[in-house]
Amino acid sequence: MSQDSPLEKQTPDSLMLFGFWYRALPSNQLRRGRLTKAMLLETPLALGRDQSGRAFALRDACPHRGMPLSCGHLKGSEVECSYHGWSFDAHSGQCTAIPSLVADQKLKVDRIYAGSYPCEERDDFVWVYVPDPGPAGAGFTKTPPAPSPAPEVPKFSDRYKLAFLTADLPCSVDHGIIGLMDPAHGPFVHQAWWWRTQSSIHEKQKNFEPIPYGFRMSAHTPSSNSAPYKLLRWYADGDSVTTTIDFVLPNMRSEIIRVGKYWFSSLTTVTPITRSHCRIDVVAAWNIFRWVPFAPELLKFVFAKFVEQDRRTMEEQSEGLKHNPHLMLIDDADRPAKWYFGLKQAMLEMKNTGGEFQHPMTGPVTLRWRS
Ligand code: FES
Ligand SMILES: [Fe+2]
């Protein structure tokens, strides 16, 4: 246990990582011709869909006098501010009209930009790239494209089902993330007769390895003490079940389960909304049990139960965290949490110094715990 735990240094006023893609909201919350507000990393956004259905994300402040653009109107693929009617291209943010100008006033309208963000849709979610805060462009800079495409749920066949779940968590993104990859809370928080009970607790040993900007729980055969995995093994009819779990900065946990030609895959993100508030989004894709009626409903039910148990736990935990108690991280059960803080620190340092990314893991590690 370290004396000066990064947990105390970083919470509740948690640092947020800029320069990454984040899930802003589920695609079905964006309607054509309507503007919708969202918040990412304490940045207010006005999101919408143009008449061709393409999603866009603007900073929710007019570059003229700061009126939220979400109070304005979407006309085709232009957003008109409700205060003085300036219009902006919804995708680039470029100003297209200033109604107050008279014919001989030479202000170059097209040199003005509303803040805009790269925006892509993946697996029923709208993703927004939140860049590092650059030098203030004072409303005269065009947004550069994102350096990489938005992440997506890994898929291993053409036909599959997709479902998602989302829950608000009243805690910083750090507590959300380390709660997500905490292996020791399972028997206490996620009890259910069909999953596992406290008495099923036993010693586990898992191998981890560094991957770029993250770590991987190496492919393994899942624990035998849960009913769904037993069912999976029966379904697999002799094929071995393997699970791989990755965590990658800034906030992504992906889990891939493969059984012969069948697979189940999920990408869970914990998104900072403000410093003290985050949201967990679980998106799953699978081709397993596709012939079972109500399988998606059943899966959603199971997932919703887990997420609700985590949400309730974190709500209670946030009560305890209000008055800055001393916290500690122990080996080996909290080692993934330590790696997370190490990765985050390395990322911030790389951004500050422009140097290499110093990965906190030097090689494969075996962790042991009881759960
Ligand atoms: S504040 Fe938007 S047009 Fe003036
Ligand atoms: Fe959990």
Give per-residue pLDDT as tens, 154-201: 999 999 989 899 999 988 999 999 998 898 998 888 876 656 666 778
79 neighbors 87 (Cβ within 8 angstroms):
yes
Looking at the CA of 312, which ligand is closest? 2
pTM for this structure? Answer: 0.91
| Per-residue pLDDT reduced to its tens digit, 66-90 | 999 999 999 999 999 999 999 999 9
At 236 the pLDDT is 64
At 181 the pLDDT is 86
At 4 the pLDDT is 47
The span from the CA of 327 to the CA of 318, in Å, is: 13
Phi, psi of 72 (to 5 degrees): -90, -160
Amino acid identity, residue 267? L
At 295 the pLDDT is 72
Q: Which atom of ligand 1 is nearest to the CA of 66?
A: 1
Q: Which residue has the tokens 């997370």?
A: 340
Low-confidence stretches of the chain (pLDDT beneath 70): 1-14, 134-138, 192-198, 221-239, 290-293
Ligand 1 centroid to Cα of residue 339, in Å, is 46
- Residue 35: which of 2, 65, 72, 4 has the closest Cα? 72
Q: Does ligand 1 have an atom closer than 6 angstroms to the CB of 65?
A: yes
254 neighbors 266 (Cβ within 8 angstroms):
yes
List, in sequence order, every residue forming a beta bridge with 144; answer none if it has no partner. none
Amino acid identity, residue 333? A
Q: Which atom of ligand 1 is nearest to the CA of 81?
A: 2
Six-digit token pair at 93?
């943010």
343 neighbors 214 (Cβ within 8 angstroms):
yes
Interacting residues of 13 by C-beta distance below 8 A, sequence separation 6+: 172, 275, 276
Interacting residues of 334 by C-beta distance below 8 A, sequence separation 6+: 178, 182, 184
The span from the CA of 250 to the CA of 22, in Å, is: 9
The span from the CA of 233 to the CA of 40, in Å, is: 40
Helix H or strand E encompassing 267: strand 262-274
Ligand 2 centroid to Cα of residue 40, in Å, is 23
At 241 the pLDDT is 82
Phi, psi of 32 (to 5 degrees): -60, 135
At 3 the pLDDT is 43
Amino acid identity, residue 312? R
The terminus-to-terminus CA distance of the chain in angstroms comes to 20
Six-digit token pair at 211?
């991957």
At 2 the pLDDT is 42
